[in-house]
Every structure is written in structure tokens, then in C-alpha cells.
Amino acid sequence: SRATPQRCCFGAAGRMASANILKRTVYVGGLDEQVDRKVLEEAFVRFGELKTVEIPLDLKTGKHRGFGFVEFMELDDAQDAIDNMHHAELYGRVIKVNLARAPKNTPTTESNRPIWADDFFYRKKLKEEGLDEGEGLGDL
């Protein structure tokens, strides 16, 4: 039986889907720079069917940043991977394997808005220039 991929949802259902994904996804830290997606996949596939394997790259150097994420199809498989791989050795380095956590301080649509998109700064600029908010707008 093939699981259908969950789509991003909003509201309570979306939070539940997101929490479920986090329970099936493990963080793998302490990776040697020789470890790539294929190596990480081969190290974790023995614990169950994998949905995704990701190793984020540093945009400046193009190299990975020493950690990755492995998402399993089943919750129990993720827990088996943690139980068996935490503090195991991979390419000569001891790796840390834990349940992935939701990212903190992720950019939102609000943080990508230009400063003048906020009405407060618009009104402040008008005031500095000695204009009133409605001044110069005519009969709109």
C-alpha cells in the first residue's frame, strides 16, 4: 500500500499533518563532508521505506553544512533509526540522530515585505515631510 503524499494544509489539520511529518523525520548531525544524499539514504534505508533524504547546502560554499534530514514513510521506522543510529559512526564521524524539530525564525511573507509596505513608516515619512496623510490626494 502506497501512502499518498500529504499536502500543506492550513488550520488544525495542517498543524496535525506538519506534526506527523516531524515525527517521521529524523535530523542527522555531524556528517563528514564526503557524505552525500546517496550515502545518507543507504545508511538509513535499512530501517524502513524512505520518503525523502535532504542535505541542505551552504549557498556560499556549495558544500553541505554537516547535517541532513531523513523522512520515513512510517513513524516506527524513524524511531528505530534514532534508536540504532544515534551516536553511530558514519565515515569516521560519530553522528547525532534525533527527531527533527520545526524550524525557528523562518522567514515569513511579512519579513520579506519592503519597509514602505508598512503603513506606520509611510505615515512617519509623510509627517517628516510636513504632509498630512490626505494632503495632495485631491478628490479620490
pLDDT digits (tens, 9 = 90+) for 32-55: 999 999 999 999 999 999 999 999
Chain segment 70-98, per-residue pLDDT in tens: 999 999 999 999 999 999 999 999 999 99
pLDDT exceeds 80 at position 28:
yes
Which cell numbers in the block locate residue 17? Answer: 499533518
Model confidence at 115, pLDDT cuts 50, 70, 90, reads low
| Orientation of helix 11-24 relative to helix 75-85, angle to 10° | 40
User: Using CA atoms, how far apart are residues 15 and 23, in angstroms rounded to an integer?
Assistant: 12
